[in-house]
Amino acid sequence: MASTAQSTQTRPQPANGEPSVLAVVVTHAEREWLTECLVSLATQTYSTLDVLVVDDASGDHRGPPSLKRVVKRHLRKRRWGYLRTPRPLGFGGAINWALSRVRTDADLLLFIHDDAALTPESVEKMVARIGADPDTAIVGPKIMNWDNEHILEEVGMAADRFGYPYKGLDEGEIDSGQHDRASEVFFVTSTCMLVKHGVFRQLRGWDARMRAFSEDLDLCWRARIAGHSVRFEPEAKARHAIALATGKRTSPYVPTRYFIRRNRLRAVTKNASAIRLLGLIPLFVLLSIAEMIGFIVIRQPREIWNLVKALGWNAARLPQTLAERRRVQHKRRVPDSTINRYTVRLSTRIRSYLGNQTHRIEEAWGRRAELLSQRGHEARAFGQRMKGWPIALTVLAVVGFLIGFRHILWAEQASVGELLPFPEGGAGMWKAYISPWNHAGLGGPGPNPPAFAILGFIPMLTFGAASAAQKVMILGLGGVAAWGAYRLVYELVDPPARWVSAATYGFGAVGYAGLREGRLGAMFFAAAAPFVLAAMIRLIGWARPPEWRRNQSIALIALGGAVSAAFVPGSLLLYVIAAVMLLIPKLILDHKGETFRPLLQCFLGLLIAWALLLPWSTSWFGDGGALNALFGDDTWRGYANTFRDDGMASTLLGQTPDGPALFGLAMPLLGIIAVAVADGARRKMALALWTVVVAMGWIVDLISAGILRPFVPSPTEVGVLAALAFAGLAGIAVGAFRLDLSRRELSWKHAASIGALALSGFLIAAGMGPALWHGEWNAGETAGGVGPEVVAQVSSLLDAEAQQTGPFRALWIGSGWSSREPTGARPGGDSFLTGAREPQLQDLFTPQSDADGTLDVVIASIEEGATDRGGELLGAFNVNFVIIEDGPRAGGWLAQRDLALIRTEDDYFVLRNQVELPRVGVYSELPVYVRALEEGDPRLSAGAEVQKTALSTSGPNGYRGRVAGEGMVFLAASEEGGWKATADDLALDRVPGGWGNAFALEEGPSETQVVEVTYPRSIVALFVLLITILAWIATVGAAVSRKRRKIRGTIA
């Protein structure tokens, strides 16, 4: 669209030398307020005033009457002009564009919104104000409410250091002259501002990239930096409808908060001084995270997305912004300290912010109250429906649950496989996550698995009660899994069938096997899998709810995939296979439109999932990495051996993963019913789910035959998707029976279906009944071992010791303490070395190092009887306790002359090492047994022992102590070279220390020196971690957000 310009009047020459003013009115759609605006300009007492109306590509400019006609009608008494932009450019952009196309000799420019109207003397007063002070470049009027001109809207604006605007007015404050003092302000809004033309040109006009919101802050800020003043003139008044920000007019610049945030950040980046900016950026990021958390609390996840988008927009345009910044800073005449006089303190801003947010929370809670009310109605309706047999079934399920899970509900914390005790509180897990050092086993450098961070949330739910946290986690995972299965078939079947799907999956094989085998990873995978599969089903197009959003499905895949892969990295490959398996039947049976795009979107979601696990996910394929078995040496056989008893048949019979036998038999039967009875989409979906089952069966087959290297540690993990597919088939079977069978003509199919369904019901009852009765949902049921009560005893012993002596490692020998079979967290082994105290969740994902090989040799030496002084060798590894099951292996350990037997029970022994080497200590020279380990020569350990001084723990990755004289600092943690040591803040030189870290300590000037040993955190790693956290928050926001319209509609 070409622009047009017109001028009909000739402005008389100013008689008294008064400056000429060009008023620029920018209008965009909806003319409700424009007429009054134009009239107010036409009736100004100031004579040398021209008006330029800029139509920012309004859609309704043709009228009737046309916009130009309206302008002409109301500005007949003035020299006027009309321009129309070819496309919407935003307020500042439209003005810049218009001024580049008209030649004007105006001394002053008056920018005014089309929803603002000035009082007749306003221009005159503002011109007088700007003329009274040569430094003043910008003047703004008092802004009043459009509908009630006694209510103040603005009296000049302030801002805080982050560019948050601050009015300094109460909500609905009445104007009684309390602000009628002409004063300098930080900025005036673009509602109406009078600007010296020369200054405007000098400032290169508005920042057109901002489009809308905060561009006035930017302009005034730049003017101030260039040494000009910005003033507020109380005698000039304008009424403002605030149509754009309050949603009274449709705007292309939505969501408003996104534009405000992004423009504010751009303004700060451009205008703040360099020193200030360095301090502001980290604060800004932290504030953003706090805001995101706040948005989650008040259930406004969309705002999180807005915030992330704003950050992303600025990040993408950073080079351009920095170029702008150079120009701005080049013109700097006034330091920030001077400008800061017009900004508000942070505390003032926080008060204001909290006030606003409280208002928003109240609003959100108001909506929530409405929703709760609605949910209450739904619950009552549900209650009505539950009368009769549903209530009986519910009671039966609850009683069955209590009986079946009694060993979990009323037992100590389980300690088997990956199911290990929670540390007190979640902080331990989070510290473990953000720590650059993994303390598990012999320790190793990060990055740590995000599983730690996920697990860290769970103790919060129980206020730090560790035992309860484990129960909540186990039961919660089951509940989430059941909910996911319910949603999986939501669009396909009716509620009873959905409940069947949920119950089948929740009570089914994964939880059963996962719990009994102590496979925490499989249980997390099982809880996340239904959401990922459901999102894939919707992306591929099998079933879509009415308000389905593609991006949300991708976000769900990313989120569910990340949670799964945080525990079972190979689950991402299983998801890839599942996506392909779901697409193939879609292409064959129901091909419409898109072919591979949904698959690519599924892959995109999984790629994001991988990215969410950064930087840990980069270590998967490295030595000791979670997926190293795919490429490494024979270690994959350890995983493959766990598949020996599984295959297609076991998958088909519901025994991969292990479940109650008869219950498993019911699954394929229900699957057959689903295919045979269902019609239309349900039948196609059933066939698609069968392809998933068959694919998983083949994977198990190929791994057990050694053709495919195992990318997950056991059949339980592969069986997750098979069990989920079966649960979906069970739901479809029941749904088809209820919805499709009745529509068919009576035939033998009815009898066969009823018979098969009855048989399935019987098999489920016969399978689940005894399992529930015997309480088979018990952690470690199949792993053997010594039981949680024993672990509790030993744990309390070690805990008490650790409180007295500081952290130490404990070596657990045997399969009872942790499954000898490989798990998702660590490869199989005959021993398990804790980081400190008893085995806890932080000990999952034990990093491997060269020192592990040395420790293996020490253990072998002890068990083969080569040595009876194993204590001193283990002491070099900071192993203070050995816990060993009674059995053939115990003999070698009991023969050690420096391991004291401090507890003997029927099935285990606890040995205490008499040769305790502190984790970090200062020695007169390298301890003899460390030297023996270093050189692989046990004879060296025959030397005289050296004196030592232990350093105490100082923070998560530091040790500190006061030491006299010279010696050698030895860190019995790892040979990893990132550790640093200082004495009185002077770095110590590294010396050969075998598998540990050794530093030479020389005598200092003072009698004693403060020795510190730390593993410093990399700034880059911290930054990556922050970015990852932001990415998680954004993904959660995108995955759980709802369309606001729907909520409002519900309220209405």
Toward another protein, which CB reaches closer, 159 or 933? 933
DSSP, residue by residue, 664-711: HHHHHHHHHHHHHH--HHHHHHHHHHHHHHHHHHHHHHHHHTTSS--S
Of the listed pieces 312-320, 841-849, 890-898, 1034-1042, which binds another protein according to CB under 8 A? 890-898
By the rule CB under 8 A, 797 interacts with another protein: no
The minimum distance between CB 931 and another protein, in angstroms, equals 12
The minimum distance between CB 886 and another protein, in angstroms, equals 13
Cis peptide before 445 (omega within 30 of 0): no
Toward another protein, which CB reaches closer, 211 or 684? 684
By the rule CB under 8 A, 901 interacts with another protein: yes
Binders of another protein in range 572-601 (CB under 8 A): 585, 588-590
Sheet arrangement for strand 831-833? 831-833, 809-813, 879-885, 908-913, 899-904
The 10 Å CB-count burial string (b at 16+, else e) for 576-587 is ebbbebbbebbe
The minimum distance between CB 322 and another protein, in angstroms, equals 55
Toward another protein, which CB reaches closer, 220 or 686? 686
Toward another protein, which CB reaches closer, 185 or 696? 696
By the rule CB under 8 A, 864 interacts with another protein: yes
Q: What distance in Å separates the CA atoms of residue 312 and residue 315, rounded to the nearest whole number?
A: 5
By the rule CB under 8 A, 848 interacts with another protein: no
CB 176 within 8 A of CB 234: no
Q: Is 975 helix (H, G, I), strand (E, B) or coil?
A: coil
Toward another protein, which CB reaches closer, 320 or 805? 805
Among 69, 351, 597, 644, binds another protein (CB under 8 A): 644
Of the listed pieces 204-212, 364-372, 511-519, 934-942, which binds another protein according to CB under 8 A? 934-942
- Identify the burial level of 859 via C-beta atoms within 10 angstroms of its C-beta, where 0-12 means exposed, 13-18 middle and 19 or more buried: buried
Among 465, 894, 1000, 1047, binds another protein (CB under 8 A): 894
Toward another protein, which CB reaches closer, 861 or 954? 861
The minimum distance between CB 942 and another protein, in angstroms, equals 4
Among 80, 97, 499, 643, binds another protein (CB under 8 A): 643
Binders of another protein in range 535-574 (CB under 8 A): none
- How far from each other are the two terminal CA atoms of the chain, in whole angstroms? 41
Among 103, 341, 939, 1045, binds another protein (CB under 8 A): 939
CA 907 to chain centre: 45
- Identify the burial level of 1017 via C-beta atoms within 10 angstroms of its C-beta, where 0-12 means exposed, 13-18 middle and 19 or more buried: middle
In 241-336, at which residue ranges do the beta strands (DSSP E only) sit? none
Toward another protein, which CB reaches closer, 480 or 688? 688
HSE value, Cβ hemisphere, 13 Å, CA-based, for 749: 17
Q: How many CB atoms lie within 10 A of CB 762?
A: 12
Among 26, 41, 786, 932, binds another protein (CB under 8 A): 932
Among 70, 419, 667, 899, binds another protein (CB under 8 A): 899
Toward another protein, which CB reaches closer, 789 or 864? 864
Toward another protein, which CB reaches closer, 296 or 940? 940
- The residue with tokens 């199919």 is 749
The minimum distance between CB 946 and another protein, in angstroms, equals 15
Q: How many CB atoms lie within 10 A of CB 409?
A: 15
Toward another protein, which CB reaches closer, 565 or 833? 833
Among 398, 752, 860, 964, binds another protein (CB under 8 A): 860
The minimum distance between CB 993 and another protein, in angstroms, equals 18
Continuous segment of H or E residues that includes residue 1024: helix 1019-1040
CB 89 within 8 A of CB 56: yes
Toward another protein, which CB reaches closer, 498 or 820? 820
Toward another protein, which CB reaches closer, 118 or 640? 640
Q: Is 590 helix (H, G, I), strand (E, B) or coil?
A: coil
Of the listed pieces 235-243, 387-395, 763-771, 938-946, which binds another protein according to CB under 8 A? 938-946
Which sign, positive or negative, has the C-alpha torsion 681, 682, 688, 692? positive
Binders of another protein in range 247-276 (CB under 8 A): none
CB 880 within 8 A of CB 900: no
∠ Cα 838 842 843 (to 5°): 60
By the rule CB under 8 A, 141 interacts with another protein: no
Identify which of 146, 266, 190 has the alpha carbon closest to the alpha carbon of residue 24. Answer: 190
Q: How many CB atoms lie within 10 A of CB 668?
A: 18
By the rule CB under 8 A, 736 interacts with another protein: no
Among 147, 171, 634, 1007, binds another protein (CB under 8 A): 634
The minimum distance between CB 700 and another protein, in angstroms, equals 8
Q: What distance in Å separates the CA atoms of residue 1046 and residue 374, rounded to the nearest whole number?
A: 13
Q: Which two tokens stand for residue 66?
A: 């046309």
By the rule CB under 8 A, 402 interacts with another protein: no
CB 545 within 8 A of CB 1046: no
CA 521 to chain centre: 19
Among 856, 905, 984, 989, binds another protein (CB under 8 A): 856
By the rule CB under 8 A, 288 interacts with another protein: no
Q: What distance in Å separates the CA atoms of residue 558 and residue 428, rounded to the nearest whole number?
A: 26
CB proximity list for 241: less than 8 A, separation 6 or greater: 32, 33, 115, 116, 146, 248
Among 250, 394, 904, 1008, binds another protein (CB under 8 A): 904
The minimum distance between CB 821 and another protein, in angstroms, equals 11
Q: Which two tokens stand for residue 140?
A: 């703004």
Among 282, 312, 376, 943, binds another protein (CB under 8 A): 943
CB 125 within 8 A of CB 235: yes
Site string for another protein, 665-704 (x = CB under 8 A): ----------x-------xx--x--xx--x--xx--x-xx
Provide Rg for the chain, Cα atoms.
36
| Binding residue count for another protein, defined by CB under 8 A | 65
Continuous segment of H or E residues that includes residue 998: strand 997-1001
By the rule CB under 8 A, 376 interacts with another protein: no
Toward another protein, which CB reaches closer, 214 or 704? 704
Binders of another protein in range 26-55 (CB under 8 A): none
CB 741 within 8 A of CB 677: yes
Among 858, 920, 1001, 1038, binds another protein (CB under 8 A): 858
The contact set with another protein (CB under 8 A) reads 585, 588-590, 634-635, 637-638, 640-641, 643-644, 647-649, 652, 675, 683-684, 687, 690-691, 694, 697-698, 701, 703-706, 853-854, 856-861, 864-869, 873, 894-895, 897-902, 904, 912, 914, 932-933, 936-939, 941-943
